[in-house]
Amino acid sequence: MKITVIGAGGIGGTLAARLAAAGHAVAVVARAAHLEALQATGLSFVDAAGPDTGVYRVRAVADTASLGPQDAVFLATKAHQLPAILPQVPALLGASTVVIPAINGLPWWYFQGAGGAYEGWCLQSLDPDAGMPALLPWQRIIGCVLHFAAQRGIAGEVQCTAGRRIILGEPDGSDSPRLRSLAMLLETAGFAVERTRDIRRDIWVKLIGNLSFNPVAALTGYRMDQICADEPVLTVIRAALEEGSRVAAHLGIDVGISAEARIDIARELGSARISMLQDLEAGRSLELEPIVGAVIEIAQRAGIDVPASRMLYALARARARALELPQS
């Protein structure tokens, strides 16, 4: 299959390496020194969670103009970078191309095709100009929730440090042929894939964890195992988890998991340095809007009090300003 991965960080690099190892024609959209290294020597992949450590030749480009229609397109940038990235996607679309946003946080398409009182709502925190649905209609999308940890090393190198689980689901809840085909594609590339009829619930199960753990990691510098071992810090985590669950419930989503069970899931990542901490240490902008800001925006419209989430958002923004990180 012809596959393009836009974004060659930890997540995108892991997807690209394993798909290339499975024999597919993989193109990667990257930039700067990382792009140059990929073009010169290939993608060096360290696979702590499987057998695919090696160097893989991928087609590395700065933009999509030369690639043509693809069978599948993975969006593996930071969620707040997508408004700038999506104009590159139409050049990749053929009659049956599927697009898989492999992103953290609440996806911009969440209220597209969902029905209910919020149908068609574009959150300011995700899509300030409300232009993303026109660039990429939700019917092209297969929802995706990732449960593995990865990070970029030196230019041209990516490491997968834990996990291999991916959850896939159609926005309309169907078990479509294209969903089954995509699941098989990723399974043969070494991922543990689950198909779901309720991808929005799975988005919230991960989102409440990101809402709580990611800002705490950025503020404390803790690895995941350190967070889970610090009981006073877990008190803050529990408060944010419970707030996220209440906001999800307002949207008709029962996350079906207690705060303690969600913390146990986090423990499975071991000593991983999760994404917001990685970004802070690398001097990159933080994914606060899709992970925290979007939940606060929904809560405000619904009249739900979320003090712990607001506190984490304010402190993480202040930390980013103090370090003079780029603003998302």
Q: Are residues 104 and 250 in the same domain?
A: no
Q: What is the pLDDT of residue 265?
A: 86
Q: What is the pLDDT of residue 174?
A: 95
Q: What is the pLDDT of residue 328?
A: 67
Q: How far is CA 127 from CA 8, 83, 130, 131, 162, in A?
A: 23, 7, 5, 7, 31
Residue 110 lies in a domain: yes
CB 236 within 8 A of CB 312: yes
Q: Are residues 249 and 232 in the same domain?
A: yes
Output the domain CATH number for residue 68.
3.40.50.720
Q: How far apart are CA 320 and CA 314, in angstroms?
A: 10
Question: Residue 268's Cα: distance from chain center in Å?
Answer: 18
Q: Are residues 27 and 98 in the same domain?
A: yes
Residue 289 lies in a domain: yes
Structure tokens at 247: 């906001």
Which of helix, strand or coil describes residue 250?
Answer: helix
Range of the domain at 275: 201-322
CB 218 within 8 A of CB 280: yes
Q: Are residues 192 and 115 in the same domain?
A: yes
Residue 90 lies in a domain: yes
Q: What is the pTM of this model?
A: 0.93
Q: Are residues 145 and 245 in the same domain?
A: no
How many domains does the structure of the chain reveal?
2
Q: Are residues 216 and 286 in the same domain?
A: yes
Q: How far apart are CA 13 and CA 92, in angstroms?
A: 19
Structure tokens at 105: 């946080």
Specify the DSSP element, H or E, that contains 177. helix 177-188
Q: Are residues 274 and 163 in the same domain?
A: no
Beta-strand (E) ranges in the chain? 2-6, 25-29, 43-47, 54-56, 59-61, 70-75, 93-101, 143-152, 157-169, 192-195
Q: How far is CA 33 from CA 63, 76, 305, 318, 328, in A?
A: 15, 18, 44, 29, 22
Boundary-marking domain end, from 197, 219, 242: 197
Output the domain CATH number for residue 278.
1.10.1040.10
**H-state helical runs in 27-127:** 32-41, 82-85
Boundary-marking domain end, from 143, 165, 197: 197
Q: Are residues 190 and 206 in the same domain?
A: no
Which of helix, strand or coil describes residue 227?
Answer: helix
Boundary-marking domain end, from 165, 180, 197: 197
Residue by residue, pLDDT tens for the chain (328 residues) are: 999 999 999 999 999 999 999 999 999 999 999 999 999 999 999 998 788 899 999 999 999 999 999 999 999 998 888 988 999 999 999 999 999 999 999 999 999 988 889 999 999 999 998 999 999 999 999 999 999 888 898 999 999 988 899 999 999 999 999 999 999 999 999 999 999 999 999 999 999 999 999 999 999 999 999 999 999 999 999 999 999 999 999 999 999 999 999 999 889 888 888 889 989 999 999 999 999 999 999 999 999 999 999 999 999 999 999 999 997 6
Q: Are residues 151 and 241 in the same domain?
A: no
Q: Are residues 97 and 179 in the same domain?
A: yes
Residue 327 lies in a domain: no
Q: Are residues 251 and 180 in the same domain?
A: no
Q: Are residues 283 and 206 in the same domain?
A: yes
Residue 57 lies in a domain: yes
Residues annotated as part of the active site: 206
Q: What is the pLDDT of residue 193?
A: 98
Residue 328 lies in a domain: no
